[in-house]
Chain A
Amino acid sequence: METIQQQKVLALNGDEAVALAVKQSDVDVVAAYPITPQTIIVEKFSEYVADGEVNTEFVCTESEHSALTACLAASATGVRTFTASASAGLALMHEILYVTSGCRAPVVMAIANRALSAPINIHCDHSDSMVERDSSWIQIYVENSQEAYDSIIQAFRIAEHPNVLLPVMVCLDAFFLSHTLENVQVLPDETIQKFVGKRQIPLITAHEGKKVPFKLDTANPITMGPLDLYDYYFEHKRQQEEAIKRASKIITQIHSEYAQLSGRRYGNGLIEDYHLEDAEIATVCVGSTAGTTKSVVDTLRAKGVKAGLLRLRTFRPLPVTEIVSALENVKAVAVMDRSNSFGGHGGPIFHEIRHALYDTKTHPHVVNYIYGLGGRDMPQNTIQNIYKNLQEILETNQVKRYVQFAGVRE
């Protein structure tokens, strides 16, 4: 077992923490296009390139669509790749997100979660990445800049794992994390390089029965991204589902291996349970709101209220078993969504949580709060009100409204 390493403490914002993690992970190709609030990641990385601090080939593309394409193609050529985006940029990548996962290219991308237009807005919500939840990318939502740093490093290992081979999106909240200085503990370069290691290329059976590396290799040519019709497409998509399901175990393993170096754990890597063991009421959320919510839970606990929080760290693959066992004994659950599924029954996280709990014998009440769109602040008192409503549900055993909006002028 590795011992916890000596770490430096640096004052970094979330974007800088991401850039540093990419630098330490020995990435071969970074291709990116600027968009607020992701810009600091690429700016900082450009400085590393300009100062000769990295060995990376840095491609400043003319669009996000080309940025992700270049990462995908470089990844298919056999190297480690990274990009970053947000909001409209991620939306422009949409087509290539599916191609990247379908080509089983282990690209890592940081998303500085920002609202989608219109109206145009540069601030935080999760509309941009939530809309990509079906794209077969692993999605990790971080609570703070420290976790952004740690998760990017873990992401390369997860993505490139031969049993996964899928891209990973590490999502950090715009401005609340991307632009806010925080103390970040940083592991030594050599520790990270050793942890991440060199990208291993698995062997596949090519069409002539020969075992060849799964990459564009002139010594062993293979055809990637072919036309695949009704006779094989479905099997390939089925394999992709198996791969993303397998990722859960690998995420927890890598998270735990990293924790032994850093001393930092985020639950089990999939979910973080905050005072859920005896909780009667609980909220569920992703991202930086969890920090504020933890503080509210502490206040409520001090008053004797059995309140808890489930922070979903890994949204894809959805850790269904973990969610069910964490929440099945809670009486009333409020899911907080920082995005909306317009015309649907609540936000995307609500859909998943309520659906996961449907088959439990305990049948907790599950309600939804859409909050914080376009960077609207989520202060403690708004969260306290949510817990207050949960207490009402607990007392009356009745739900008045399943889907509500928190912190909006109605």
Chain B
Amino acid sequence: MADASWRFTAKEIVEKPELFTSGHRACAGCGPAIALRQVMKATRGPTIVTNATGCMEVVSTIYPYTAWKVPWIHTAFENVAANASGIEAALKAMKRKGELQEHVDVIAFAGDGGTFDIGIQALSGAAERGHDFLYVLYDNEAYMNTGIQRSGGTPYGASTTTSPAGKVIPGKPQFKKPIADIMVAHNIPYVATASIAYWQDLLIKTRKGLEAEGPAFLHVFAPCPRGWRYDTSKTIEIARLAVETCIFPLWETVDGEYSLSPQSKIMALKPERKKLVREYLKMQRRFGHLFRPKFEHMIDDIQKNIDKRWNKLLKKCNIKHKDS
């Protein structure tokens, strides 16, 4: 496992060739495309990538073009962890027969639909079996590829095309599934959350995930301007606010031990720096209806839920918290 003080320099990552290249057809301001580029900047050697069906598969491989400079395979939506299992098993078999000498890393990319919902069985199975691979969840909080339908990763109150803000039901009635904690419960060597707003942290966590022996899981927060309804220039700002409001805290577990990452630790040590969720919500039209008087109480519900989750996380990280 990499030393925690170890860093990627800007010079180093600029000089490293792009493995996920420009020319793909992602929307302007696409968070997931930024996530993929950042992850691929942290690879350490020969790497095979597998992708679940979703935005990133669709925008990067429209035949006969490809944005990938590494071997890449997509097979279906719900099975990217099984792809990774098969690739890793094949690499092991080749090594055993002396047909492969070098180490090859395996990275699986999937969106929130492919992870929280339809892909969780294959992911849980692969984690239990202990395949050596890094699973990267790029979370844009809905099925964006099919047109913004709600997933298990969609937050409470968000309006999507299958949880529309109606006259009676104001957006998604359920809170987001704690997917990274579910992965921690699999007792895998490395789990982390990361945000495209903090690229260096994301790169370090990617590298740690690759260096972990066994399954590693990286939950990357990746806003979507189309689905969240905000200006394309605001992607990084919104991603940063999600961390600053503790809606999406940054943490990692090494062998099950939780620790807060520096960007979130600040909020724990200096609670006055923690911003209100209202500030985050008001930037996105998917939450626009919550600012109508009829539904404004839901903003308090969200604040309470976020505070509760944050306090739970602080406990897990052994940080004594002064109530904010």
* A residues whose Cβ falls under 8 Å from a Cβ of B: 28-29, 31, 55-57, 59-63, 65-67, 69-79, 81, 95-96, 99, 103, 207, 215-218, 221-229, 232
Task: List B84-102 residues whose CB lies under 8 Å from chain A.
Answer: 84-87, 89-94, 96-97, 102
Say yes or no: B50 contacts A73, CB within 8 Å.
Answer: yes
User: What's the nearest-Cβ distance from chain B to residue A182, in Å?
Assistant: 31
Query: Which of A62, A74, A95 is the one whose CB lies under 8 Å from B121?
Result: A62
Say yes or no: B90 contacts A62, CB within 8 Å.
Answer: no
User: What's the nearest-Cβ distance from chain B to residue A242, in Å?
Assistant: 19
User: What's the nearest-Cβ distance from chain B to residue A107, in Å?
Assistant: 10
Query: Which of B71, B76, B126 is the one whose CB lies under 8 Å from A216?
Result: B71
Q: Which of B85, B86, B93, B126 lies at the interface centre, i.e. has the most chain A CB atoms within 10 A of its CB?
A: B86
Q: Which residues of A contact B79 (CB under 8 A)?
A: 65-66, 69, 96
User: What's the nearest-Cβ distance from chain A to residue B179, in Å?
Assistant: 17
Say yes or no: B58 contacts A227, CB within 8 Å.
Answer: yes
| A67–B83 CA distance with the chains assembled, in angstroms | 10
User: 20 A-B residue contacts at CB 8 Å?
Assistant: A28-B97, A31-B86, A55-B93, A56-B93, A57-B96, A59-B129, A65-B79, A66-B121, A67-B82, A70-B85, A70-B86, A73-B85, A73-B90, A76-B73, A77-B48, A207-B66, A223-B61, A224-B71, A226-B66, A229-B62
| A141–B259 CA distance with the chains assembled, in angstroms | 57
Q: Which of A63, A65, A227 lies at the interface centre, i.e. has the most chain B CB atoms within 10 A of its CB?
A: A227
Say yes or no: A217 contacts B85, CB within 8 Å.
Answer: no
Say yes or no: B87 contacts A95, CB within 8 Å.
Answer: no
Say yes or no: B89 contacts A227, CB within 8 Å.
Answer: no
Q: Given known contacts A31-B86, A69-B83, is B93 in contact with A57 (CB within 8 Å)?
A: yes
Say yes or no: B69 contacts A72, CB within 8 Å.
Answer: no
Q: Which of B58, B73, B91 lies at the interface centre, i.e. has the most chain A CB atoms within 10 A of its CB?
A: B73
Q: Which residues of B contact A96 (CB under 8 A)?
A: 75-76, 79
Name the residue of chain B whose CB is nearest to the CB of A215. Answer: B71
| A78–B50 CA distance with the chains assembled, in angstroms | 15
Say yes or no: B89 contacts A70, CB within 8 Å.
Answer: yes
Task: List B101-126 residues whose CB lies under 8 Å from chain A.
Answer: 102, 104, 121-122, 124-126
Q: Given known contacts A31-B86, A55-B97, is B78 in contact with A65 (CB within 8 Å)?
A: yes
Query: Which of B75, B94, B102 is the one whose CB lies under 8 Å from A69?
Result: B75
Say yes or no: B62 contacts A221, CB within 8 Å.
Answer: no
| A95–B78 CA distance with the chains assembled, in angstroms | 11
Q: Which of A81, A96, A216, A222 lies at the interface centre, i.e. has the most chain B CB atoms within 10 A of its CB?
A: A216
Say yes or no: A77 contacts B86, CB within 8 Å.
Answer: yes
Say yes or no: A221 contacts B72, CB within 8 Å.
Answer: yes
Q: Which residues of A contact B75 (CB under 8 A)?
A: 69, 72-73, 96, 99, 103, 225
Q: Which residues of B contact A79 (CB under 8 A)?
A: 90, 93-94
User: What's the nearest-Cβ distance from chain B to residue A56, in Å?
Assistant: 7
User: What's the nearest-Cβ distance from chain B to residue A1, in Å?
Assistant: 31
Q: Which residues of B contact A81 (CB under 8 A)?
A: 86, 90
Other 15 A-B pairs with CB < 8 A, given A79-B94, A222-B71, A226-B74: A55-B96, A59-B129, A66-B121, A70-B83, A73-B73, A73-B85, A73-B90, A99-B76, A215-B71, A223-B68, A223-B73, A226-B62, A226-B66, A227-B58, A232-B63
User: What's the nearest-Cβ distance from chain A to residue B214, in Å?
Assistant: 15
Q: Which residues of A contact B68 (CB under 8 A)?
A: 221, 223
Say yes or no: A227 contacts B129, CB within 8 Å.
Answer: no
Say yes or no: A77 contacts B84, CB within 8 Å.
Answer: no
Interface flag for B46 (CB, 8 Å): yes
| A75–B76 CA distance with the chains assembled, in angstroms | 15
| A72–B84 CA distance with the chains assembled, in angstroms | 11
Q: Which residues of B contact A70 (CB under 8 A)?
A: 82-83, 85-86, 89
* B residues whose Cβ falls under 8 Å from a Cβ of A: 46-48, 50, 57-58, 61-66, 68-76, 78-79, 81-87, 89-94, 96-97, 102, 104, 121-122, 124-126, 128-129
Query: Which of B65, B90, B122 is the one whose CB lies under 8 Å from A66?
Result: B122
| A276–B87 CA distance with the chains assembled, in angstroms | 48
Name the residue of chain B whose CB is nearest to the CB of A28. Answer: B93
Q: Which residues of A contact B81 (CB under 8 A)?
A: 66
Say yes or no: A227 contacts B48, CB within 8 Å.
Answer: no
Name the residue of chain A whose CB is nearest to the CB of B58. Answer: A227
Say yes or no: A225 contacts B74, CB within 8 Å.
Answer: yes
| A224–B86 CA distance with the chains assembled, in angstroms | 15
Say yes or no: B125 contacts A69, CB within 8 Å.
Answer: no
Query: Which of A63, A76, A232 is the one whose CB lies under 8 Å from B64?
Result: A232
Q: Given known contacts A66-B122, A216-B73, is B64 in contact with A207 (CB within 8 Å)?
A: yes
| A379–B9 CA distance with the chains assembled, in angstroms | 77
| A23–B57 CA distance with the chains assembled, in angstroms | 36
User: What's the nearest-Cβ distance from chain B to residue A167, in Å?
Assistant: 13
Say yes or no: B85 contacts A59, CB within 8 Å.
Answer: yes
Say yes or no: B87 contacts A225, CB within 8 Å.
Answer: no
Say yes or no: B48 contacts A62, CB within 8 Å.
Answer: no
Name the residue of chain A whose CB is nearest to the CB of B57. Answer: A227
Say yes or no: B63 contacts A226, CB within 8 Å.
Answer: yes
Name the residue of chain A whose CB is nearest to the CB of B89. Answer: A57
Say yes or no: A218 contacts B48, CB within 8 Å.
Answer: yes
Say yes or no: A62 contacts B94, CB within 8 Å.
Answer: no
Say yes or no: B63 contacts A61, CB within 8 Å.
Answer: no
User: What's the nearest-Cβ distance from chain A to residue B202, in Å?
Assistant: 23
Q: Which residues of A contact B128 (CB under 8 A)?
A: 62
| A61–B45 CA distance with the chains assembled, in angstroms | 28
Say yes or no: B82 contacts A69, CB within 8 Å.
Answer: yes
Q: Which residues of B contact A67 (CB under 8 A)?
A: 82
User: What's the nearest-Cβ distance from chain A to residue B204, in Å?
Assistant: 23
Say yes or no: A62 contacts B93, CB within 8 Å.
Answer: no
User: What's the nearest-Cβ distance from chain B to residue A209, in Å?
Assistant: 12
Q: Given known contacts A55-B97, A78-B94, A223-B66, is B86 in contact with A69 (CB within 8 Å)?
A: yes
Name the residue of chain A whose CB is nearest to the CB of B96. Answer: A55
| A78–B104 CA distance with the chains assembled, in angstroms | 14
User: What's the nearest-Cβ distance from chain A to residue B173, in Å?
Assistant: 30
User: What's the nearest-Cβ distance from chain A to residue B178, in Å?
Assistant: 21
Name the residue of chain B whose CB is nearest to the CB of A102. Answer: B75
| A63–B129 CA distance with the chains assembled, in angstroms | 13
Q: Which residues of B contact A226 (CB under 8 A)?
A: 61-63, 66, 74
Q: Which of B75, B91, B121 lies at the interface centre, i.e. has the most chain A CB atoms within 10 A of its CB?
A: B75
Query: Which of A63, A74, A103, A229 is the one whose CB lies under 8 Å from B90?
Result: A74
